[in-house]
Amino acid sequence: MASTSPTHPETQEPPPLVVELDGVLAHTDTLHEGLLGLLKHQPYLAPAVLAWSLKGRAFLRAEVARRVELDVARLPYDETLVTRLAEEKARGRKRVLATASDRAVADAVATHLGLFDTVHASDGTQELSGARREARLRETLGERYEDVRPSPPSRSLPYSLFKALRMHQWAKNILVFVPMLAAHKALNPPLLLQALLGFISFSLCASSVYVLNDLLDLDSDRKHPTKRRRPFASGDLSVRAGLWLAPVLLAGGAAVALLLPREFLALLGTYYAITLGYSFYLKQVAMLDVLVLAGLYTVRIFGGSLAVGVPTSSWLFTFSMFLFLSLALVKRLSEVRRLRLANEEAAPGRGYMAGDYEQLASLGVSSGYLSVLVLALYITSKEVTALYAYPERLWLLCPVMMYWVGRVWLLAHRGQVNEDPLVFALKDKVSYAVGLIAAGVLLVAT
């Protein structure tokens, strides 16, 4: 924080404290957040946004503020600065909010915080920024005032990027290796390279979706006890950075996909389209959201099949659909459980109620054990004899799977699965042991 005036004697009245809203008082840009909210709920206004921008940023700010009411109570404020403003108010020092944000937004923030004596803001005709802002301050305050400077980010840029890309979620894309493994071609170097390229392509594409999803979920994430610490919700990364990052990641994923069969690129495009639909709307529809999630897991397996040119049986797709539906329901059960503990009725941005807990549990456990039934039917099919010399030994997989599915659901009931179940499994020692046992069973059956 720096002052525009020299140090004055303690006996002299301290100069007014001037604060900008965007990037200083709040770690965000209210115009960008407003635009996101507008295009999320009224995408048909995109051409109008372009027309407004041609009339100047002040006009654009006013039109957006007129249509989108930001939740100013949950903006990512600089708590240290808010505390300082409260202390200065107690001392009687004048406090001024001078911001390029629209007057409606600035007034809402000032009313919410109750810490400012005066508010200067853009008025729809002129944007209060740069030289115009400085001139307004000198006109109303004179030469003596302290203009608060932005605080450094609380987290490093590499850490924030790592969190925004959700690189730990890339573990889901290991599913692209499943068709190659199921066909017993894991030791084929060319196919392994193609599967690796498929993994990278899916991972970059998925990160693009995660960034876009977090941008669209700013409001609901800020109401969540843990998601509010995500980089965009907390302000560690700007909305503008996210709007650049999402298409760059998508372009990277598409570029890698060009090295694979064209069918893979087509599937990747389909995957991205479905995830966009999920981000904009489908995740708000109860049950349809988990079916889409289960389908996206299965799409990764199909993508692996296309990447390496190895056909995959319908048995694997059926098994995957039931298993991943069960795991998607685990995730929703955990969210509904948090609702109950917080005595809340509904999840923000979701289609579930606190009273859905028992029904979700019933559906999820049933789906998990249906996947085991599909596995049992596969073991008795004619297809299995072409790949395994001792197919009867595969029966050992059934109790192993029943144990793992049952354990995941038991832990979910206890509140010990608070993240994506596949990510949970990668941190769970018992899941590793189950995986090793399953691999041993497959080995002795081959």
pLDDT tens for 161-171 read 888 998 888 88
Query: Looking at 52-56, 88-92, 150-154, 440-444, which range is the least confident one?
Result: 150-154
For residue 56, count CB atoms less than 10 angstroms from its CB and return exposed for 0-12, middle for 13-18, buried for 19 or more.
middle
Decide if 93 contacts 14 (C-beta within 8 A). Answer: yes
CA quadruple 182, 331, 238, 35: dihedral positive or negative?
positive
- With bands split at pLDDT 50, 70 and 90, how would you rate the model's confidence at 280? confident
pLDDT higher than threshold 90 for residue 409 = yes
What confidence score (pLDDT) does residue 253 get? 94
What confidence score (pLDDT) does residue 348 get? 67
- With bands split at pLDDT 50, 70 and 90, how would you rate the model's confidence at 291? very high
Most confident option among 156-160, 288-292, 420-424: 288-292
The pTM score is: 0.80
Q: What is the pLDDT of residues 337-392, one digit of tens each?
A: 888 887 887 776 677 888 888 999 999 999 999 999 999 998 888 878 777 888 88
Helices (H), 92-156: 103-113, 130-141
Report percent pLDDT > 90 for the chain: 54
What confidence score (pLDDT) does residue 7 get? 46
pLDDT higher than threshold 70 for residue 11 = no
What confidence score (pLDDT) does residue 404 get? 94
pLDDT higher than threshold 90 for residue 126 = yes
pLDDT higher than threshold 50 for residue 3 = no
Mean pLDDT value across the chain: 88
Most confident option among 11-20, 36-45, 123-132: 123-132
What confidence score (pLDDT) does residue 247 get? 94
pLDDT higher than threshold 50 for residue 9 = no
Which residues are CB-neighbours of 368 under 8 A, at least 6 positions away?
322, 323, 326, 327, 405, 406, 408, 409
Q: Which residue has the tokens 């979620």?
A: 169
In three-state secondary structure terms, 230 is coil
For residue 21, count CB atoms less than 10 angstroms from its CB and return exposed for 0-12, middle for 13-18, buried for 19 or more.
buried
Mean pLDDT, to the nearest integer, of 385-411? 89
pLDDT higher than threshold 60 for residue 1 = no
